[in-house]
Amino acid sequence: MVKLLKYMFLNINSIVLFMRLCLLSGALAAPASHAQWPYEVPFVPSPQVVVDEMLRLANVTKDDFVMDLGSGDGRILITAAHKFGARGTGVDLDESLIAQSEENARAANVTERVQFLRQDLFKTDFSKASVITMYLLPGVNMRLRPSLLALKPGTRIVAHDFDLGDWQPDVKVTIRKNVMLWIVPAKIQGRWRLQLPLPAGAQTWDMDIRQKHQEIDGVVRVADRPPAGLWQASLRGDRVSFVLVDNTDRENEANMYFEGVVRDGVMEGEFRRGVGNVQTRHKWRATRTGTAP
């Protein structure tokens, strides 16, 4: 059984390798869209432009540690080190590609900052990464997804062509190919106790949040009143924002615009309240009190 799984896995990887080789030779170089245009495409760009786009979309800097899953000839990591100043590790199963990557890294003079490991992706620990790059098959992406979602909130994942199923990318651009960015969301589903100072006096409300990947919604429960919805609720890495309508006093109705950071069961930040260009700013804080709404 173990042997069979291993065999299947190697097979998937050889397909990935085949696709990579196709890409290198330009055989897959059809334009991603614009197919309806009645022109030939005589200028066939090489995927280096896509590599650049992935690293740019992830906003890679010298402070990043990039892990390239299925690193092939090493071009993504070498570009990240050479042009963006990052450090990183590439992981691939193919020994000859690892050797070639090391040779390419020497040629680009970045051996100090990158290393290539011949290793099974599913046995690789990538908790050290601040950026993950990958170009794998959909099935492999989906098998990796639980480990990716478990990474530190704020970790950026970039891929092209193949997505992560119903985990929607935070950003998608089409430049030669579809390039997608995901930001690992904090886990905030559950009940929180929201404390905030309102003009009418300090308030403590229960806030229930539902979450699917980075999509969130929720309600605030106040005694004797119908639950108030969280509007425009958004989660990006460890940054959360939402709007509550304070209509306790109809003549003085105002929206409250919350922004904050989530860390270790605490959300805190500032909210703006009031109308016009002179809003007041107040601190807010929420602490986790339960896991299921």
The residue ranges that bind other proteins (CB under 8 A) are 31, 33-34, 37, 39-43, 45-46, 48-49, 52-53, 55-56, 60-61, 79, 82-84, 173-176, 231-232, 243, 245, 247, 250-255, 275-278
Q: How many CB atoms lie within 10 A of CB 73?
A: 20
Work out how close the CB of 85 gets to other proteins at its nearest, in angstroms, rounded to a whole number. Answer: 8
Instruction: Output 87 or 288, the one with its CB closest to other proteins.
Output: 87
In what side-by-side order are the strands of the sheet with 87-92? 114-118, 87-92, 65-69, 131-134, 156-160, 177-183, 171-175
**C-alpha to C-alpha distance for 163 and 134, rounded to whole angstroms:** 10
Instruction: Output 42 or 146, the one with its CB closest to other proteins.
Output: 42
Work out how close the CB of 118 gets to other proteins at its nearest, in angstroms, rounded to a whole number. Answer: 28
Nearest Cα to Cα of residue 78 among 59, 48, 105: 105
Instruction: Output 224 or 251, the one with its CB closest to other proteins.
Output: 251
**C-alpha to C-alpha distance for 234 and 226, rounded to whole angstroms:** 23
Helix pair angle (48-57, 75-84), 10° resolution = 60
Instruction: Output 84 or 271, the one with its CB closest to other proteins.
Output: 84
Instruction: Output 160 or 288, the one with its CB closest to other proteins.
Output: 160
Residues 6+ apart with CB under 8 A from 9: 120, 122
